[in-house]
Structure 1
Amino acid sequence: MLETIRAAGRIARIDIAKAAGASPATVTAITSELIAAGLIEECADPPLQDAKRGRPRVALKIRGGAHLVAGVKVSHHAASVVITDFEGTEITAREMRLAENRMTPAKLCDEILRSLDEACAAGGLALGDLSGIGIGIAGLVDARRNFVYWSSSLRERNVDLGRMLEARVHCPVFLDNDANLVAKAEHIFGEGRNVDNFIVITVEHGVGMGIVLDGRIYRGVRGCGAEFGHTKVQLEGALCQCGQRGCLEAYVGDYALLREANLNSETDHKDIDSLFAAAGAGEEIAGSILDRAGRMFAMGLANVVNIFDPSLIILSGAQLNYDFLYSDKVIDQMKRWIVQVDAPIPEVKVHGWGDLMWAKGATAYAIEEVSNLTVRELAANAG
């Protein structure tokens, strides 16, 4: 019922009963508990234009002041923080450069705490004001355990990162793969609104994927599902940062493109912009590297369509500022490699956004998990 209210923005009790398939008496009892717990509040429902004058219908809405939560996106170069109230209204946001691209677990905790402290200070808040913190990080993450099997941001494997952070922030921490949180953000704020089955593919330093099936994030049994970047596209191929060979990411991620370019070109490309500029200027090696990346990406997209048959694929990330991964040529290659049936193929949309929007997805995750914790406490107290 809490999620029904959140999805609607404001909704009358009778409409909650219809949406939840519950009796009006049950809705009244449960929403009374939620009001008493401070999670929701009553408000006047705006009357319809053709409605007769009279007492306005009472609706329910999430009480924004119930909790404050933070969302953190850990990228290759920066930590981005968004702090919102319980309704998801942004209070403050901050981006902070990281001291290193890859660090020890203790150092990464230091950096995350520093970014949270800076964001809280900017919003006139204290760290102790937060009821929960959502964190998105690249890699293989078991969200149920807040456990990181492997991440390009960490020098060590098998890190109980959630426990380490909770010991220092003294509030619940909710850890997940960053692409999953982009999918959550798209589902709530972006191109995936009102779509129950879609896939988000992120392309930045690495390649990630978030899967939404029947309105829920799919993570796999071990939390290691949806690793699109580590699907194999070449037997014994290029070395991936995960340690294996032939991964899609090893041909599409920005580190892989720069590695290939600097091994085979006299030009010393310091960043991805330099490589794209060289390709635009007609440099043959740069152009061939991007062309191969486009073919590999098209192959990967075709595999995604053949396996999941989603209604929508959303491409997101910094590299989507350039069209070599979603050009007509790439989409045409994808179309040739998918299973042919007499039905429209999934729509492909491009939605490039910055790290702060990724962090907002982490706040949405934190709000969801804080809600779950609070409702479980209510149920336990009622029992």
Structure 2
Amino acid sequence: MDDSGAPTAARGGGIEARRPGRARVLRTIRQHTQVARVDIARETGISPATVTAITADLLSEGLIERISPDAGERPKTSRGRPREALKIRGAAHLVAGVKVSQGAITVLLVDFEGRELGTQEIPRAERRSSAAALVDQIALAVDRACHAIGLDPARVSAVGVGLAGYVDGLRGLVHWSSALTERNVPLADLLSQRVHYAVFIDNDANLVATAEHLFGRGQALRTFLVVTIQHGIGLGVVIDGQLYRGARGCGAEFGHTKVAPGDGAACQCGQRGCLEAYTSEYALLRQAEEVGAGTFTDMAALQEAAAQGDAGIADLLSAAGEYFSMGLANLINIFDPELIILAFEAAGNHPLCQPEIVEAVHSKVVQVDVAPPEIVVHNWGDRMWAKGAAAYGIERLTHLLVEDLGAP
């Protein structure tokens, strides 16, 4: 039988017999630098005959390529002809990952194999834009990134875009984002009408989780959480190896869980009492000004003031840490993950990523006779977000290519 459950001989190795296994075969090849067909069959459970037919399709479409074995590297005990290996063909497609933040648009260009080719950061003149203006900014940023490394933008096959907010990635819809002045924006459709390549969008925290799953600390894990700390607070959830989105496509909004009843602090989402209204950069800078501590431009300035003995600022940061540790403890009690990754974009240390915060979290979780999950800090900066967007672009483009392969 092949992987679809039907006898291979009866199906004749035809298009329908091969269709269900293509994504699995391609994914297995991508996980290896190079891999032989017999090893693909063993890892996927797909019959060798079907693997041969599927890889023939992928070779024909130029998505993978053969690697000629070096007979000189074979063990002396081996007999016969060396096994031919296969790998992803990097030149097959050019993909861009785009991270939209309030201060800049970061673009990372990768080939189909995932190799980084170049990066570019384009400052944004305004922190929030209309949908039309943001579409123009993204298109221009991708073009500039290509020109910067001598590539024709016409070669771009797909773009993954990440931005903060309530984003339904599967529908390409932004319900709300701090980067936009409008709500319920069909951003993927608007950008698709402006450019020639496929466009995929998602919440930026989801894309950090995707990057960690493919390239980072989550590679060997089945269930882990990524908490992003930037202008706001985000969450990416991977359960049983799959990104969790929720029924409406915009679940896991950790920063907008409520931590204060009644008339709590105002959040940029329009509600009150949200976690990020007490812990995010914009909230802490606002609070510092409200208590008369002065005007600060970033978290580093707040930390410096606290280190210099400003008791008011120290109290603000301490309260933020308490709110944040409670939130993380709640995540552990709900999801029981293998690992929590704290990802932030600023250089240096972040006040919410200090050892005492981790200790406070562990004191608040349900105590059982098993150690609590590890909490680690991974500071990749905006490049991390862009790399996640590029990985997402590769994944979604691969899905389209596999679905179209052999279609009438």
User: What is the percent sequence identity of the aligned residues?
Assistant: 52
Structure 1 position 8 matched with structure 2 position 32: yes
What is the distance in 2 between the residues matched to 1:320 and 1:8? Answer: 33
Q: How does 1:221-370 map to 2 (within 5 A)?
A: 221-236=247-262, 237-318=264-345, 321-370=348-397
Alignment partner for residue 64 of structure 2, among 40, 64, 75?
40
Instruction: Give the equivalent residue in structure 2 for 1:94.
Output: 120
Query: How far is the alpha carbon of 1:90 from its aligned partner?
Result: 1.2
Structure 1 position 178 matched with structure 2 position 219: no
Query: Secondary structure at 2:59's aligned position in 1?
Result: helix
> Which deviates further from its counterpart, 310-319 or 154-163?
310-319
Query: How far is the alpha carbon of 1:170 from its aligned partner?
Result: 1.7
Kindly provide the amino acid, as one letter, of the partner of residue 3 in structure 1.
R
Kindly provide the amino acid, as one letter, of the partner of residue 37 in structure 2.
R
Query: How far is the alpha carbon of 1:368 from its aligned partner?
Result: 0.8
> Which deviates further from its counterpart, 143-152 or 54-63?
54-63
What is the distance in 2 between the residues matched to 1:45 and 1:82? Answer: 32
Query: How far is the alpha carbon of 1:54 from its aligned partner?
Result: 5.6
What is the distance in 2 between the residues matched to 1:238 and 1:49? Answer: 68
Cα deviation, 1:68-108, whole Å, max 9, x if unaligned, reads 11110001101000111100111111011111110110111
Larger Rg: 2
Contact 1:143 1:175 in 2 (8 A): yes
What is the distance in 2 between the residues matched to 1:224 and 1:45? Answer: 47
Contact 2:200 2:393 in 1 (8 A): yes
Structure 1 position 380 matched with structure 2 position 404: no
Q: How does 1:187-198 map to 2 (within 5 A)?
A: 187-198=213-224
Tell me: CA distance 1:291–1:319, structure 2 relative to 1, closer, same or farther (3 Å).
farther
Query: How far is the alpha carbon of 1:203 from its aligned partner?
Result: 0.3
Contact 2:177 2:183 in 1 (8 A): yes
Tell me: CA distance 1:36–1:152, structure 2 relative to 1, closer, same or farther (3 Å).
same
The two structures have a TM-score, normalised by structure 1, of 0.96
What count of residue pairs does the alignment treat as equivalent? 381
> Which deviates further from its counterpart, 133-142 or 258-267?
258-267
What is the distance in 1 between the residues matched to 2:76 and 2:107? Answer: 44
Query: How far is the alpha carbon of 1:379 from its aligned partner?
Result: 4.4
What is the distance in 1 between the residues matched to 2:318 and 2:229? Answer: 16
Contact 1:206 1:229 in 2 (8 A): yes
Cα deviation, 1:305-361, whole Å, max 9, x if unaligned, reads 011000000000135832521323212221122111111100111000121221111
Tell me: CA distance 1:376–1:82, structure 2 relative to 1, closer, same or farther (3 Å).
same
Q: Give ranges in structure 2 of 5+ residues lacking alignment.
A: 1-24
Tell me: CA distance 1:320–1:124, structure 2 relative to 1, closer, same or farther (3 Å).
closer
Instruction: Give the equivalent residue in structure 2 for 1:106.
Output: 132
Q: Give ranges in structure 1 of 5+ residues lacking alignment.
A: none
The two structures have a TM-score, normalised by structure 2, of 0.90
Instruction: Give the equivalent residue in structure 1 for 2:9.
Output: none
Query: Secondary structure at 1:3's aligned position in 2?
Result: helix
